[in-house]
Amino acid sequence: MHHIVIGTAGHIDHGKTELVRALTGVDTDRLKEEKERGMTIDLGFAEFRVSEGIEAGIVDVPGHERFVRNMLAGSTGIDLVLLVIAANEGIMPQTREHLAICELLRVPRGLVVVNKIDLVEPDWLELVKSEIADFLKGTFLAGSPVVPVSARTGAGIPELKAEIARAAEGIRPRGETSTFRLPVDRSFTIKGFGTVVTGTIFGGRVSPGEQVVILPAGVSTRVKGIETHNRKAEAAVTGQRAALNLSGVEKTEIGRGDVIVHPDTLAASRILDVSLKVLAGEGHGLKNWSEVRFHAGTAEVIGKVRLLGRDKIAPGEEGFAQILLKDPVVTVARDRFVVRQASPMITLGGGEVLDPLPGRRHRHRDPGVISWLQGLKDSENPDLVLAHVRRAWLRGAEAPELVARVPLNRIEIQEELKKLGAEGKAVSSPRGRYFAAEGIRTLADSVWKKVEEFQQSNPLAPGLIREELKGYFPEANPEALVEAVNLLKSAGKVDFDGETIRRSGQGPELSPELQGWRDRILKRLQEAGPQPPEMAELIKEFKTDKGNLEKILRLLVRQGILVRVGEGLFYPASTLKEIERKLVDHLRTGAQVEVPKVKELFGITRKWAIPLLEYFDANRVTLRVGNARKLYPKKDG
């Protein structure tokens, strides 16, 4: 079954509600005040079987200008609009505003219904139809069927149903595989059931028992049950009107403007990058930093329009902007929106969300930003995946991060990412983070230069330590660095053991003279046993340069041959291991040692005993208790 949403539009008292009743038998005016005043105030809903394969939910919207906000809450997501015009009154102010809103929201298709034909003569009806034809020129309804009806008498209703069926056949299904979201238009409590929310499913599907999240608050809950048009359902899908019974949520925690989503899919934001068009009939245009009422989905939020690259958008013109909102909203790239003047409330324009999660404000006249947004606007949906991967550059992007930015579902996004990897346009890390291939190549060139510079300046070092490499490129995700190093490794330029990166086939470089110094110094330290000479003594004894001595000692430490025990004090690893073994054997008897006992055990003075004990304390060989040491618990036994 193919599900679509049909919406009404038009001026107050032109018979929209009566028309819906004629089509469906349902009175969508549910409020007591609506019935008393004979005027639709809030949204009404009815089920309508269009044909054997198409089922529709009809959204009946209010026509009074004071309730345009309610009309907007029901208009987003409409697949087919019925623009209702009363034959006895013709085109009126809300006729024009509702049509403008439908154009801004890019409702795909529509019909014009001339209602109340029982109140006019045939000649007058022809004049009204002629007026309508002129009115629709240049709009998305130009050339659309104009169907005369009388909702009161039933005249023309069969013909209208046939036209709706023909129009519905051409509506492309939005697909159940897209990301699930349900913008809430009503929430209420049913005794014995708890909180219930209703709305039109914009994407995906939802089933009883599934975990969902209420955004923007981030409240987690579970779907206890689902109804579609007052019937229990095992699932609700894109294009259906649905009522969800939620578990453990109070009515006060959710309301119109909230969005129900699956966990870890979409996010709310107070900043949106958009393409914005001002209506041609709006006399003053839109200035930078104008305050507006922003409408998207069922949400209405006060915000500021920060124009990019210009100070004003003239009537009929289009430009790029950031919408800075007082409260966060949930949108997806390509979502349509409307902006209305804060006061008095008139429709100014609307447009398309380009990036729902830009994260920061752009500079007002940054040409790079304008170029980026133009690229988003012009790109096909699959191309947006590569665009955002390139934008992320060395931070990289994963499929879940792109769900809101690309109007495809997560599986489709993952397939596009894999395709980019196969085409050599993106590089994937083992954890599934994707980087622009040119970004990894650029990073690899920079890493190679840094390795060369380091080894030229530090010929005795075994290579550049990975942690040091991170410090040189703080803007790069660690996974990007690994991929860059892997690229250099596969090209035969470097060796990488997971910790150290160096030029391929090259270890530390020692001149014959330094090699001689290395061998003599190491021999001297090994022969000294538990009381090796400190650096100052080695400099004096060997009459060598301090810089060269430090390089040799650091090299021996990196190679694991020496261990730095204290400031200027180095022990051969084998010597230190023997000292540790002897000390542990003594402590295992249950004894404790103080400095005098250590001096006695190893035949050393306090000058060596204290650094040794502090080293063993730090490495959890010994545990200090007052002035004494005992065996650290894990070593005992």
State pLDDT tens for residues 409-421: 888 899 999 999 9
Of the candidate CATH numbers 2.60.40.10, 1.10.1610.10, 1.10.1660.10, 1.10.10.10, the domain formed by 379-509 belongs to 1.10.10.10
State pLDDT tens for residues 101-143: 889 888 889 999 999 999 999 999 999 999 999 999 999 999 9
- CATH code, 181-261: 2.40.30.10
pLDDT tier, 176 (very low <50, low <70, confident <90, very high otherwise): low
| Contact status, residue 180 vs residue 201, Cβ threshold 8 Å | yes
Q: What pLDDT, on a 0 to 100 scale, did the predictor assign at position 91?
A: 95
Q: What Rg do the C-alpha atoms of the chain give, in angstroms?
A: 37
Question: How does strand 146-148 pair with strand 109-115?
Answer: parallel
Partners of residue 625 on adjacent β-strands: 628
Neighbours of 465 (CB within 10 A): 15
The class level of CATH for 521-635 reads mainly alpha
CA 139 to chain centre: 34
Between CA 337 and CA 592 the distance in angstroms is 77
pLDDT > 70? residue 232: yes
Enumerate residues 6+ apart whose C-beta is below 8 A from 630. Answer: 587, 592, 622, 623
Enumerate residues 6+ apart whose C-beta is below 8 A from 618. Answer: none
State pLDDT tens for residues 570-613: 999 999 999 999 999 999 988 899 999 999 999 999 999 999 99
Tell me the fold of 268-371. Elongation Factor Tu (Ef-tu); domain 3 (2.40.30)
The whole-number average pLDDT for the span 47-53 is 86
Assess whether the region 379-509 and the region 521-635 belong to the same CATH fold. Answer: yes
pTM for the model stands at 0.75
pLDDT tier, 545 (very low <50, low <70, confident <90, very high otherwise): confident
pLDDT tier, 459 (very low <50, low <70, confident <90, very high otherwise): low
Tell which wins on pLDDT, 59 or 379: 379
User: Structural domain boundaries of the chain?
Assistant: 2-169, 181-261, 268-371, 379-509, 521-635
pLDDT > 70? residue 37: no
Tell which wins on pLDDT, 89 or 59: 89
Tell which wins on pLDDT, 500 or 29: 500
Which CATH superfamily hosts domain 2-169?
P-loop containing nucleotide triphosphate hydrolases (3.40.50.300)
pLDDT > 50? residue 64: no
Question: What one-character-per-residue DSSP string does 569-613 give?
Answer: EEEEHHHHHHHHHHHHHHHTTT--B-HHHHHHHHT--HHHHHHHH
